[in-house]
Amino acid sequence: MGILDGRTAIVTGGARGVGRGLSLALAKEGAAVVMAEIDTETGPATEKELRDLGTRALFVECDVSRRDQVEHAVERAVGAYGGVDILINCATGARPATAFRTFLEHTDDQIELQLGVEVWGSFYFMQTCHPHLAASPAGRVINICSMAGTERVPGFMIYSAAKEALRAMSGVAAREWGKDGINVNVICPTAATATTERFRAEHPEEAAASLANLPLGRFGDAEQDIGRVAVFLSGPDSAFMTGQTLWVDGGAVIHA
């Protein structure tokens, strides 16, 4: 028995990186997990990985920046499992090749990609899922944001701006949707992924500085550290929490 038995979750970008960790953690607590994922290699692979664990999983190819594909993904989730109880917006337009670009080096294409995924994609999923979340006995939205935004980290102008736009959207939705029985919260994670490993290889000095800034001395595990917090925010123990940001980052951000 898991605390999410009988629940259905959509995880955007749910087949790789942090998203995969979230999918695994939710599935192991009993949730049916629908991964809205653009990567047609990791999508089927992670679906099989989850199903091999004896859990319910479905990969739906989806470009979250397109409303028609978002609506199709939600239809697939509802058709397969009867509704949507949990929405986690984790898909990102961030790419290793465009990390650590100065403000002046940013391009129109980079800005359009990040806004299309982080902002428009999350907006489309939240709007489309709203009636299903409102029909759930415990609707939950978790938006994955970043300390790059809250701390205004140099080299990540549009990523920071997009994540902070999503965080602001989350707060407004939390205020408006409480009456509908929907809790909306944010996680700002720091986790070890293939992208962070590439970053450490290509930018060893910056990576070492990032690690040195973590009081706990390590990057988080996408499933055990980040995923378990998502389980908490999806389950009954967080029923009185909404509009909050949780920094799950080993202490990188500590605010008074």
Lowest mean pLDDT of 86-100, 178-192, 223-237, name the range: 86-100
Does the pLDDT value for residue 19 go beyond 80?
A: yes
Residue 91's nearest CA partner among 43, 133, 38, 129 is 38
Q: Give the up-direction half-sphere exposure of residue 15: CA atoms within 13 A in the CB hemisphere.
A: 23
Q: Taking residues 30-55, what's their average pLDDT?
A: 97
Close Cβ partners of 129 (under 8 Å, ≥ 6 residues apart): 10, 74, 84, 87, 141
Pairing of strands 182-189, 191-192: unpaired
pTM value surpassing 0.85: yes
Q: Residue 210: which pLDDT band, with cuts at 50, 70 and 90?
A: confident
Q: Would you name the residues annotated as active-site residues?
A: 159
pLDDT at 141: 99
User: What CA–CA distance (Å, rounded) separates 181 from 12?
Assistant: 22
Q: Which residue has the tokens 């990186």?
A: 17
User: What CA–CA distance (Å, rounded) separates 247 from 217?
Assistant: 15
Q: Taking residues 224-238, what's their average pLDDT?
A: 98
Give me the helices (H) in 40-83, please.
42-52, 67-81
Lowest mean pLDDT of 7-11, 45-49, 115-119, 214-218, name the range: 214-218
